[in-house]
Amino acid sequence: MLHSPLSMGGTTPIYLDANATEPLRPAARDALLDGLSIEGNPSSVHAAGRKARSLLEQARRSLAGAFGREADCCVFTSGGTEADTLAVHAFGKHAGRRILIGATEHDAVRRVAPHAGVIPVNEQGVIDCSALEALLVEAQKAGETALVCVMAANNETGVYAPLEDIATLCRQYEAFLHIDAVQAAGRMPMPGQSCAEWDYFSKALEGGFLKEASLAVSAHKMGGPKGSGALLLPEDKPLMPLLPGGGQERGRRGGTPALAAHMGMVAALQESQKQDWVAIATLRDQLQDVLVAAGAELVGGKVARLPNTLNVILPGVASQMQLMMLDIAGFCVSAGSACSSGKVARSHVLEAMGLGERAGQALRVSLPWNVTKESVEAFGNAYIDMVKHFSERGLVKAPQVCAQREV
Per-residue pLDDT reduced to its tens digit, 282-335? 999 999 999 999 999 999 999 999 999 999 999 999 999 999 999 999 999 999
* Amino acid 403: pLDDT: 40
* Amino acid 289: pLDDT: 98
- Return the higher-pLDDT residue of 11 and 6: 11
Low-confidence winner among 4-13, 98-107, 324-333, 369-378 (lowest mean pLDDT): 4-13
339 is catalytic: yes
Structure confidence by residue, pLDDT tens digits, 19-45: 999 999 999 999 999 999 999 999 999
* Amino acid 197: pLDDT: 61
* Amino acid 194: pLDDT: 55
The whole-number average pLDDT for the span 48-68 is 97
**Cβ of 9: how many Cβ atoms within 10 Å?**
7
CATH number of 26-272: 3.40.640.10
Q: Which CATH class is domain 277-392?
A: alpha beta
Low-confidence winner among 147-156, 248-257, 286-295, 331-340 (lowest mean pLDDT): 331-340
Cα 165 to Cα 31: distance, rounded to the nearest angstrom: 38
- Domains of the chain, by residue range, sit at 26-272, 277-392
- Calculate the average pLDDT of the chain: 93
* Amino acid 199: pLDDT: 86
* Amino acid 346: pLDDT: 84
What percentage of residues in the chain have a pLDDT greater than 70?
A: 91
Catalytic residue, from 73, 170, 195, 339: name it. 339
